[in-house]
């Protein structure tokens, strides 16, 4: 029989699939790789033997990632996106409740429930930082905490001292650095030394969302334990080959495109703040959270009519009338700015 008790509390993960000319809803890298690099990557796929199972250890990809991030291979475990790794963490680290600061990335809550654990969702403070007073009241109930660093969808970095304070209470911390390349701040040094800290990274926000490759960084002892539950062939042969090639061949290109996005983020922030009634929240990621005077679902719909897709995040706590826009190519950002002005003018 289907476990109704567990499933009634869950629903299928929804993402934004509406067709629009300018899509700024999923925090992907807005720039494509140069055609010749993509062709060469695809040619390499030709040569992999699709008939065979992939390398269960994804050895070459792991080498490329270790080199790209700058950590030893033995401290890495790969997942089918960091989403898979979030599942693994919820399943094997700790057994008590799970601390989740909200609003944040929905997968922490979903994984916590799937693992049959009790979520402790603690509201952030008015600056979207961890609220220590509220946190104190649940610390005895939890032994695992998730932090999106920077936080999706608010875009800020939580204070390191506050995260450390939680860890000092004997709580294991999983620091999700999906947007690391746009923020530059990291817990990797701690994840390489401490048994109560892991870091998550992903290729999704630096141009390879379609490949589904996530990275967990931790001490050998933790990697060895999580390896026990990892699905044997979780990274497809195609993803292994393409990601390895792109990380080696297009490393500088990725860096350059990330810098371009950061530059555009600053410009977009400035331009958006100039629009009457728009409140912009400073971001360390590749997206920007903003609030308008109107119901977010209305703004969202009106923008779709203008062929622009952003994410309505107003269903989350503390984010009344808020939307999230991914930083796009310069021309897409201009298109978005123009349409946002028009829509707010009209409402
Ligand atoms: C986008 C995102 C991820 C990425 O997940 P993948 O499964 O690697 O694509 C992870 N964490 C956060 C906070 C994100 O915003």
pLDDT for the residue 48: 75
Residue 304, SS3 per DSSP: helix
DSSP for 48-66, please give it.
S-TTSPPPTT-HHHHHHHH
Distance between Cα 59 and ligand 1 center (Å):
23
Mutate which of 176, 177, 216 for ligand 1? The one with the most ligand atoms within 8 Å of its CB, which is 176
pLDDT for the residue 11: 87
Low-confidence ranges of the chain (pLDDT < 70): none
pLDDT for the residue 9: 85
pLDDT for the residue 1: 84
How many angstroms separate the CA atoms of 324 and 152, rounded? 9
Closest CA to 30 of 298, 236, 285, 326: 326
The pTM of the whole model exceeds 0.95: yes
Distance between Cα 276 and ligand 1 center (Å):
32
pLDDT for the residue 55: 95
Domains of the chain: 17-32+252-346 (3.90.1150.10), 35-249 (3.40.640.10)
pLDDT for the residue 14: 80
DSSP for 181-243, please give it.
HHH----HHHHTT-TTEEEEEESGGGTTGGG--EEEE--HHHHHHHHTTS-TT-S-HHHHHHH
pLDDT for the residue 206: 98
| Beta pairing partners, 281 | 289
Which residue CA neighbors atom 12 of ligand 1 most closely?
A: 178
What number of other Cβ atoms are within 10 A of residue 225's Cβ? 14
At 6, list the tokens. Answer: 């567990």
pLDDT for the residue 52: 92
> pLDDT tens digit string along 32-75?
999 999 999 999 998 877 899 999 999 999 999 999 999 999 99
Q: Which residues line ligand 1 (CB under 6 A)?
A: 27, 81-83, 105, 148, 152, 176, 178, 202, 204-205, 209, 214
Atom of ligand 1 nearest to the CA of 82: 8
pLDDT for the residue 316: 97
Cross-sheet strand order for the sheet of 322-326: 279-281, 287-291, 322-326, 311-312
């Amino acid at each position: 029989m289907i476990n109704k008790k567990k499933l009634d509390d869950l629903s299928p993960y929804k993402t934004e699939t509406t067709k629009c000319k300018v899509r700024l809803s999923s925090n992907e890298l807005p720039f494509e790789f140069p055609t010749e690099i993509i062709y060469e990557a695809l040619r390499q796929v030709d040569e992999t033997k699709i008939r065979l199972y992939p390398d269960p250890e994804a050895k070459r990809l792991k080498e490329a990632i270790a080199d790209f991030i700058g950590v030893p291979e033995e401290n890495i475990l790969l997942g089918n996106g960091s989403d898979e790794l979030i599942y693994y963490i919820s399943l094997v680290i700790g057994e008590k409740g799970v601390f989740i600061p909200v609003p944040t990335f929905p997968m922490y809550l979903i994984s916590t429930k799937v693992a049959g654990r009790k979520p402790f969702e603690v509201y952030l403070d008015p600056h979207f930082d961890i609220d220590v007073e509220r946190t104190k009241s649940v610390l005895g109930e939890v032994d695992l905490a998730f932090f999106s660093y920077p936080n999706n969808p608010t875009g800020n970095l939580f204070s390191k001292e506050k995260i450390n304070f939680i860890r000092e209470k004997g709580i294991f911390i999983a620091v999700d650095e999906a947007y690391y390349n746009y923020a530059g701040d990291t817990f990797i040094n701690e994840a390489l030394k401490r048994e109560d800290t892991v870091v998550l990274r992903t290729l999704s926000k630096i141009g390879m969302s379609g490949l589904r490759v996530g990275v967990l960084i931790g001490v050998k002892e933790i990697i060895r334990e999580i390896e026990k539950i990892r699905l044997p062939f979780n990274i497809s042969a195609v993803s292994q080959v393409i990601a390895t090639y792109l990380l080696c061949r297009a490393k500088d290109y990725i860096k350059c495109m990330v810098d371009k996005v950061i530059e555009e983020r600053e410009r977009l922030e400035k331009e958006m703040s100039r629009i009457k009634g728009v409140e912009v929240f400073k971001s360390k990621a590749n997206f920007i959270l903003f609030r308008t005077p109107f119901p977010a679902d209305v703004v969202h719909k009106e923008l779709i009519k203008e062929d622009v897709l952003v994410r309505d995040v107003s269903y989350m706590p503390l984010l009344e009338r808020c939307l999230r826009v991914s930083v796009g190519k310069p021309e897409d950002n201009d298109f978005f700015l123009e349409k946002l002005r028009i829509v707010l003018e009209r409402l």
